[in-house]
Amino acid sequence: MALMPIAVVVVGVFLPAYPLRILDLVLLYAILGMGLNIVVGYAGLLDLGYVAFYAIGAYTYALLASPQFDLHLPFLLILAIGAGLAALAGVLLGIPVLRLRGDYLAIVTLGFGEIIRVLMNNLDWMTNGPQGIARIDEASLFGWRVSTPVDFLYLLVGLAVLTFLFVWRLQESALGTALAAVREDQDAARGCGIDTTGVKLIAFATSATIGGVGGVVFASMQRFVSPESFTFWESLSIVLVVVVGGLGNPFGVMLGAGLLVLVPELLRAYADYRQLLFGVALVLVILARPMGLIRREYGPSWFARKLMAR
């Protein structure tokens, strides 16, 4: 399993610029997908406004490291601030909704995603409105300047590995078990003494944090942010990454991220039909393989057991 990231780096370093950028994008979506998977796959709740947390992260970096307010804080500090703000937004949004059964989460997050976009579009004094914020600083980590696609490959592989280990351990932890119980039968879980609201809130906030981190990295990669990057379609794409790849399975999410980035690239000529195909794919996958392409059982723990058994 440890060979996979090394393989990605080795392959990636020799790729020309364009495929390398796509590989970076796959990794970014894999990170976001693994984050969203905590809510959708582990807790069984639908979050349709994940892009809001992503946007919060991206705008945090854009505002704190650009000529906009002439602030140039270091990358790691902003990473922490962005993640913190996203988590805070997740908690504030989760409190009214997650006390309930959670069906409403879908519609509330959908609304929240829209609100964040409307705010970014209209708070001109802060966000420059639809024009967005340009000339964002280069990221730098302990003196290492992250600027070329290869640099981002290293950064994203590192982050993806960290996220993967994190969500794997989360799934196997007591919290992960509690989430599975809530997903399967909330009343029974409550009967077993699980604080259902509490664990759902933790899951939601954790997922938001990863979204925020993804947003900060996105902003440092593009060095330009505008509300256009944070539409409902972006949220839907990340949901698709999770659902198509495998609900509750990080391997599935990686596969989903690969498919969701590569297939539209290959179908560029049919750009008009892209969203239509997305919709058809979503319905067909749900009908044919409700658990996604790779089932929940064949996750990291299963893989680790297989390796040990040999």
Contacts with another protein, residue ranges (CB under 8 A): 40, 44-46, 48, 96-97, 99-101, 103-104, 106-108, 110-112, 114-115, 118, 121-122, 186-187, 190, 196, 232, 236, 239, 243, 247, 272-273, 275-276, 278-283, 286-287, 290
State the nearest-atom distance from the C-beta of 251 to another protein, in Å.
20
Gap between the Cα atoms of 187 and 177, Å rounded: 15
Based on CB atoms, which residue is closest to another protein, 177 or 231? 231
The smaller minimum CB distance to another protein, of residues 34 and 157, is found at 34
For the CB of residue 189, give the shortest distance to another protein in the complex, in Å.
11
Beta carbon nearer to another protein, 170 or 282: 282
Q: Which is nearer to another protein, 14 or 125 (CB)?
A: 125
Residue whose entry in the numeric block shows the structure tokens 């280990």: 165
Contact 259, 244 (CB under 8 A): yes
CA 187 to chain CA centroid, nearest Å: 29
Question: C-beta of 97: minimal distance to another protein in Å?
Answer: 6
Minimum CB separation of residue 187 from another protein in Å reads 7
Backbone angles phi, psi at 60, to 5 degrees: -60, -45
- Nearer of residues 220 and 229 to another protein, judged by Cβ: 229
Q: Residue 255 has which token pair?
A: 């596969």
At closest approach, how far in Å is the CB of 186 from another protein? 8
Q: Which of 92, 173, 5 is nearest to 181 (CA)?
A: 173
Q: Half-sphere exposure (CA, 13 Å, Cβ side) for 110?
A: 8
By C-beta, is 138 or 184 nearer to another protein? 184
Residues with Cβ within 8 Å of 70's Cβ and at least 6 positions away in sequence, in order, are: none
Question: Residue 183 and residue 42: Cα distance in Å, rounded?
Answer: 7
Q: How many CB atoms lie within 10 A of CB 7?
A: 10
Give me the least distance between CB of 285 and another protein, in Å please. 8
Q: Kindly write down the DSSP assignment for every residue of 259-308, as one continuous string.
A: HHHHHHHHTGGGGGGHHHHHHHHHHHHHHH-TT-SS-GGGSHHHHHHHHH
The nearest distance, CB 110 to another protein, in angstroms, is: 6
Indicate the residue among 267 and 276 with the shorter CB distance to another protein: 276
Smallest distance from the beta carbon of 280 to another protein, in angstroms?
6
Hey, what's the torsion of the CAs at 210, 115, 235, 32, to 10 degrees? -10
Residue 140 β-bridge partners:
145
Taking the least distance from each CB to another protein, the nearer of 129 and 158 is: 129
